[in-house]
Structure 1
Amino acid sequence: MKHPLESLKTRLATGSMSRRQFMRSVVATGISAAAASSVADQVMAAAPKRGGTIRIGKGHGQTTDTMNPGTAENGYMVNLLQSFHGYMTEVAPDGSLVPGVAESWEAADGGKTWVFDLRKDFTFHNGKTVSPEDVIASINHHRGEDSTSAAKPLLSSLADVRADGPGRVVFELTSGNADFPFTLSDYHIPVGMSEDGKVDWKTGVGCGAYKLDNFEPGIRADLSRNDDHWDLENRAFFDSAELLAIIDANARQSGLLTGDLDAIDKLDLKTIERIKKAPGIKVHSVPGTQHFTFEMMCTSDPYTDRNLRLALKYAINRQELVDKILFGYGVVGNDHPIGQGQRFFNKDLPQREYDPDKARFHLKEAGLDKVKIELSAADAAFAGAVDAAVLYQNSAAKAGIEIVPVREPNDGYWTDVWNVKPFTAVYWGGRPVEDLMFSTAYESGVPWNGTRWSNARFDELLVTARAELDEEKRRQMYYEMQELVNMDGGLIAPMFASYVFGTRDNVGLPEGFASNWDMDGERCIERWWFT
């Protein structure tokens, strides 16, 4: 149970209690006035302060990025979109779901109908009140035959969305979905301003904690605090922010070491011990759902053959990659996208090990004695992706598989290489619930199914599990889905990587970081502060 003093300290730090009230309450617990005053000083010194401009270097971003939230696909854009946009719901640092633009919601008809009540007097950055019509237009941006949004499959079961008065939106689904409120937290689905029934995403007007002042794709974005936001007591402590796209790890780290940057993501793990020893720098490691993968297109030869896919899965030394690419900042993966800390992780599925003999066996089952294939990789995929491809090349050679690493350009990797070439290195941030991850990238025919894998049994289970309210029945279905991806899919998931990022020591940080995305759920701009 949390000690009463800790609760009082939290209330003082967040401003829900005055110093005088804190002193009176602490003294009442038997602590002396002098000791209570000292504690108050410490809490006030560590409490979030307002002011300053934070400069963040991200190892993502490309010149082809746009403000269209439906097509965003890298960490830079996730951070940017969540900084100036508002969302119906948000994933809190502890993984729970909390209100955003919607202040409350409830389900009916076994999860087939969801009713969301919007926050009152909530406005966009230009002063326009957020209305149900804005929500409806924002949702419909991801629906319909012409939609190119990666969120389209997440809303495939949505039959209708309608207004019910000035502050209520009703979602009617074709089948029940116990996790539907989590769907509306997805970074692709912000609440944008509507015009003539369509969302206007090009102007950069949002309703988030920061306003977007400038955006140069692949270079930088500049933001300033939205002083009319509903939750300024708990977020948006910086006056402004500079979000810089810096793919080169050495350049990012140099900026952090010299003080030109206040925070960076994707630290170079090869040199992390030197970074740790540098004065004024803090290194943070957060386990989460992030996984680094190699994806085979199951519709392109030779990957159409299940045995060839299995040969490639047995031909990779997972532990070697964790040791030499992640330097221990992660764990081995098991060729599916669900992390060990997630609710329905299949702990009963045997861990696939490096086994050249089994790889060679499946290669022969595919009618081959040897095979030569190209593997596309770039640092834009994940730090060390090219090195990982070389290590994979060495381990696969023992099974008669010749892998040829192809170093691709960083700029344009996500538009010209991933989801285009048949065998590529990929990173995934994961999703807070299993349904979102599977619906985004593994359901047959969805835009981000980079493996082009299609399995009727998997698709059936996905729909059934989504509507199932019995926890144990859902578990068994998600267990089977992970096994299907593991045994039949085009995914090689050798490692789950911790989020490792660095900050200057003048950056104030919360007690715990979110683990659904890098840098505190990619909400560092609104959750951090300067001490």
Structure 2
Amino acid sequence: MRKKRFTLFSFVTAFILLLGGCFSGETESKPDSSDGEKSGEEQSDGKKVLNLNNNEEPGSLHPGTAQGTHDSWVLEHAFEGLTKKTPEGEIVPGMAKDWEVSDDGITWTFNLREDVKWSNDDPVTAHDFEYAWKYALNPDTAAEYAYQLYYLEGGEEYNSSENKDEYAELEEKVGVKALDDHTLEVKLAEATPYFLDLTSFYTYYPVNKKVQEENPEWALEADTYVSNGAFKLTEWKHKESMKLEKNENYYDKDKINLDEVNFVMIDNADTAWQMYQADELDLVYPLPPDVTGELSSKDDPEFELAPDFTVYYYNLNNDVKPFNNVKVRKALSMAIDRKAIVEHVQQGGQQPAYGIIPPGIPDVEGDFQENSGELFKEDVEEAKKLLKEGLAEEGMDEMPEFKLTYNTDEGHKKNAEAVQEMWRKNLGINVTLENVEFQVKLDREKAGDYEISRGGWQGDYVDPMTFVDLWVTGGSFNDANWSNEEYDKNVKIAKTSMDPKERMEAMHKAEEILMDEMPIIPVYFYTMPFTVKPHVKGVFTPINRYPQFIYADIEK
């Protein structure tokens, strides 16, 4: 859907000057398009080619070790799971032609299509799924997303083991088994209402067992890459570009219109936008915030404002003083003017976040986020009071200087500058901004090597659990290093109960505890503003995915 937003340049400029921050975007020389052709046009050889931008080099294109949207946008088109999602968001058969589930919701039996193949012509089998899931759970793999497989019987026990001598025994007990080449039996630890949704998520994709065993580094280069989706990776110039081509082995290839998809890797949104204007790109996401504001105010026909399923927040490293103090954490949160950020900095119809679960998830009745309401308030005077008290409790007279780390993106930069000025103006504290590559940021968060960092989470499936389980004690993505027994207890209840009312109540309680302790600072709930050329048809935007081009077409 499109949404109009009224934006006056003079008003925005005045707001920026009021904040005192410098919001001007960096500019770079515009790189040439990789093939010298105009975007979206049929090439002289008749090929239909789509050109777009992935703003970071993928950290991993192996389904078992991928962890970010810079990985998943490619994976979602190169691979396919047991199920997939339609443009309407419906879960439909993918590699599996159908499935059965036991009355107690524990045992699932997936029947694979008999005509599915890998890009190297090997058959896709149930053994590839069993192998891939157990590979991600293997402690030696160190997969950040292994916890998404804890829904399998024995999954958590295997992944959590520190005794190599028992790995083989624990692996055998994991609840996934290929009964034959075309039948996969899955046993869950507990009945899970959203399990079918999970089977379309990339951690649940298969891996070619033979290829993995012969070459453990197959996913690092295009010439060894093997996938089972609508497209195959045929070129990878690291930190520069990637090329996907239509996979002729894909069972549904007759519905795939594009012959080729070219990704350039440009981490500057202004540069990507310039390339789009020069017809070198067909689709651009993300857009520079000022461009979003301008296009939305004009109701530009190439501008799309899709719903998103993502929360923008800041991690506070709870292991570092004074962020270990809840009063200091609350003070920092209460001193941020979220409305100003979404209306005058981002300008894309975002919604200020006073919780961590975005709109769009059904509750027992109504919408979960609407039922939660605002779980905290902004209050500068109370923030000053709490900051003083918190620092005194830590034996500090004043707030030490600290760094706010964000990954390269014009929108993240402007957010950080706005928050930096709000904290200076409202609390009298000095913050240094640090810009790093996305993968560097992720690595440092995992190592605890930061003070405050920009965070964002796009839900993996449509249930509040995809957000609340992030901050359980010892969680793979609990980069704030926070722990609360009552929080963990409620998350456990929500994971194991089949009573919808009990589940939702437990997750509401968990979110309330999180916001009362404030180990992370929510800022806003995303929208997905992007531009796409008129000759590109069939791009769709599931609530928890980047724009999908699997069924896209190029029209003259």
TM-score over 0.5 for the pair = yes
Q: Which amino acid aligns with 2:285?
A: D
- Larger CA deviation: 420-429 vs 247-256: 420-429
- Contact kept? 1:370, 1:400, Cα under 8 Å: no
Instruction: Give the TM-score of the pair, scaled to structure 2.
Output: 0.78
Among 74, 87, 94, the alignment partner of 2:81 is 87
Shift of 1:162: 0.8
> CA distance change for structure 1 residues 303 and 279 in 2, over 3 Å: closer, same or farther?
closer
Match in the other structure for 1:529: 553
Match in the other structure for 1:166: 181
1:224 aligns with 2:245: yes
Q: Give a deviation string over 1:71-125, Cα, whole Å, max 9, x none.
A: 3343332111111112122233333322211222333263322222212221111
1:179 aligns with 2:211: no
Shift of 1:440: 6.1
Q: Which amino acid aligns with 1:448?
A: F
Shift of 1:244: 1.3
> CA distance change for structure 1 residues 507 and 276 in 2, over 3 Å: closer, same or farther?
farther
Match of 2:302, SS state, is strand
- Contact kept? 1:215, 1:221, Cα under 8 Å: yes
How far apart, in 1, do the equivalents of 2:299 and 2:500 lie? 49
- Contact kept? 1:88, 1:101, Cα under 8 Å: yes
Shift of 1:299: 2.2
Match of 1:302, SS state, is coil
Q: Give a deviation string over 1:399-433, Cα, whole Å, max 9, x none.
A: 53514132323364334444431310122223322
Among 516, 520, 542, the alignment partner of 1:514 is 542
Match in the other structure for 2:123: 129
Match in the other structure for 1:213: 234
How far apart, in 2, do the equivalents of 1:54 and 1:471 lie? 43
Match of 1:169, SS state, is strand
1:61 aligns with 2:57: yes
- Contact kept? 1:67, 1:204, Cα under 8 Å: no
Match in the other structure for 2:286: 266
Runs of 5+ in structure 1 lacking a partner? Answer: 1-49
Shift of 1:448: 1.9
1:313 aligns with 2:307: no
Match in the other structure for 2:14: none
1:485 aligns with 2:506: no
How far apart, in 2, do the equivalents of 1:280 and 1:359 lie? 41
1:292 aligns with 2:286: no
Q: Which amino acid aligns with 1:347?
A: E
Match in the other structure for 1:71: 65
> CA distance change for structure 1 residues 392 and 118 in 2, over 3 Å: closer, same or farther?
same
How far apart, in 2, do the equivalents of 1:399 and 1:299 lie? 25
Match in the other structure for 2:531: 502
1:359 aligns with 2:359: no
Q: How does 1:306-385 map to 2 (within 5 A)?
A: 306-336=326-356, 338-344=357-363, 345-351=368-374, 352-368=376-392, 370-380=398-408, 382-385=409-412
Instruction: Give the TM-score of the pair, scaled to structure 1.
Output: 0.82
Match of 1:164, SS state, is strand
Q: Which amino acid aligns with 2:57?
A: G
Q: Which amino acid aligns with 1:291?
A: V
Q: Which amino acid aligns with 1:376?
A: L
> CA distance change for structure 1 residues 416 and 146 in 2, over 3 Å: closer, same or farther?
closer
Match in the other structure for 1:455: 484
Q: How does 1:417-496 map to 2 (within 5 A)?
A: 417-419=444-446, 420-434=449-463, 437-438=466-467, 441-496=470-525
Match of 2:433, SS state, is strand
Q: How does 1:104-123 map to 2 (within 5 A)?
A: 104-108=98-102, 110-123=104-117
How far apart, in 1, do the equivalents of 2:495 and 2:99 lie? 18
1:387 aligns with 2:411: no
- Contact kept? 1:51, 1:530, Cα under 8 Å: no
Shift of 1:51: 4.5
1:409 aligns with 2:436: yes
- Contact kept? 2:64, 2:133, Cα under 8 Å: no
Runs of 5+ in structure 2 lacking a partner? Answer: 1-45, 155-173
- How many residues are matched? 472
> CA distance change for structure 1 residues 174 and 75 in 2, over 3 Å: closer, same or farther?
closer
- Contact kept? 2:51, 2:263, Cα under 8 Å: yes
Compute the RMSD of aligned alpha carbons.
Answer: 2.7
> CA distance change for structure 1 residues 418 and 188 in 2, over 3 Å: closer, same or farther?
same
Match in the other structure for 2:48: 52
How far apart, in 1, do the equivalents of 2:362 and 2:297 lie? 37
Q: Give a deviation string over 1:488-525, Cα, whole Å, max 9, x none.
A: 24111111121111112211135x53221222xxx22x
Q: How does 1:186-265 map to 2 (within 5 A)?
A: 186-195=201-210, 201-202=218-219, 203-234=224-255, 236-265=256-285
Match of 2:333, SS state, is helix
Match of 2:77, SS state, is helix
Shift of 1:480: 1.3
How far apart, in 2, do the equivalents of 1:119 and 1:461 lie? 39
Match in the other structure for 2:93: 99
Shift of 1:214: 1.3
How far apart, in 1, do the equivalents of 2:351 and 2:298 lie? 27
- Contact kept? 2:406, 2:454, Cα under 8 Å: yes
- Contact kept? 1:57, 1:261, Cα under 8 Å: yes
How far apart, in 2, do the equivalents of 1:439 and 1:104 lie? 31
